[in-house]
Amino acid sequence: MQTTKKDIRTLSKEDLRNFFVSQGDKSFRGNQVYEWLWSKGAHHFDDMTNLSKETRNMLEAHFVINHIKVDTMQHSNDGTIKNAVRLHDGLVVESVLIPTETRTTACVSSQVGCSLDCNFCATARLKRMRNLAPDEIYDQVVAIDQESRLYHNRPLSNIVFMGMGEPLMNYNNVMKAIDMITSDEGLGMSPKRITVSTSGVSKMIKKMADDEVKFKLAVSLHSAVEEIRNHIMPFTKNFPLPELREALEYWYRKTKSKITYEYVVWGGINDDKKSIDALVKFCKYVPCKVNLIEYNPIDDGEFQQAAPEAIDAYIKALENAGIVAKVRRSRGKDIDAACGQLANKS
């Protein structure tokens, strides 16, 4: 049954302290509850054993703790794990654990569905249903950290916001989640291990720079030719390349943090010389590196992985221009956990 009680994890520590004072109790109880909710990951008020039964009942009468639930966990042959995560209102998002030899990365979702309409992406076929709350984002990370310890004998080392949704269209909640992930009261992870990946929402890139964020920025560029980029990601008509360039220059001036361009090469779409030259030119505006990402077709439509020669031509041209470029092989293809595939089947 749907409850109208408030999720207690939407309250800040200060809110909790004030709540206890309003109930005629001591403010430090707020600190105790906050610690239970975040550092200790309590799922029930009854877990909060240093509070009296009366206090726990009082909390129960006012609030709920809306933890996510990992509904299904799929294991790929390459060690990748995909979680289908059920939210308190029954909606489902996906997050992925990606292991390599030296690290474990969590790829997390920021929205149910997506606000944007990238033509190559399975998530885009689901309309945006709602933004995720900060605790729903945080919980995906905690679940993957636990799975990493269980299945790979090491803690989670990195986080990328590249799952379902455009993180900069859910800016405040993503920032609050990152605050908790990096806080000593949460997971205490370094912001340098977190990458927020955007499709190029220029005005929010500037806002992040103004907010002096400490995490890394990746931009899913996919083309530095305006018409081709508009065809791949129709919403980019609202964020044209000159505006994106200006936002990225602003970002670098303020943060001194290099940008990573994520780039998929599709046959017949952006595998031509004009596209390669345009990318090389765009890369010269701001210090950057390029990840050329292997693509997994979501159907037999026009978006198909380009021939290896086309990828080689990109690498050669970028390297000749002194730009670091790597090919990123997709992981978890057999469980539809690879780039562009999330929500393909759910």
Question: Binding site: what residues are annotated?
Answer: 114, 118, 121, 165-166, 197, 220-222, 296
> If we measure between CA atoms, which residue out of 39, 30, 36, 32 comes closest to residue 12?
30
**Annotation marks residue 294 as catalytic:** no
For residue 169, the 8-state DSSP code is G
Q: Give the x/- contact pattern for ligand SF4 in 192-231, rule: CB under 6 A.
A: -------x--------------------------------
Q: Which span (98-106, 158-166, 175-183, 297-305) binds ligand SF4, by CB under 6 A?
A: 158-166
The minimum distance between CB 210 and ligand SF4, in angstroms, equals 22
Residue 339 annotated to the active site:
yes
> How many angstroms separate the Cα of 6 from the Cα of each of 53, 64, 85, 178, 304?
20, 6, 21, 22, 46
Q: State in angstroms the smallest separation of the CB of 272 from ligand SF4.
A: 22
User: DSSP readout, 205-272?
Assistant: HHHHHHTT--SEEEEE-S-SSHHHHHHHSGGGGGS-HHHHHHHHHHHHHHH---EEEEEE-BTTTS-S
The verdict on 124 binding ligand SF4 (CB under 6 A) reads: yes
As a whole number of angstroms, the distance between CA 200 and CA 220 comes to: 7
Q: Exactly one of 81, 87, 96, 114 binds ligand SF4 (CB under 6 A); which one?
A: 114
Site string for ligand SF4, 298-337 (x = CB under 6 A): ----------------------------------------
Spatial separation of the C-alpha atoms in residues 171 and 175, rounded to whole Å: 6
Q: 107, 283, 288, 339: which one is catalytic?
A: 339
Candidates 11, 51, 59, 118: give the one binding ligand SF4 (CB under 6 A). Answer: 118
Query: Which residues are annotated as catalytic?
Result: 94, 339
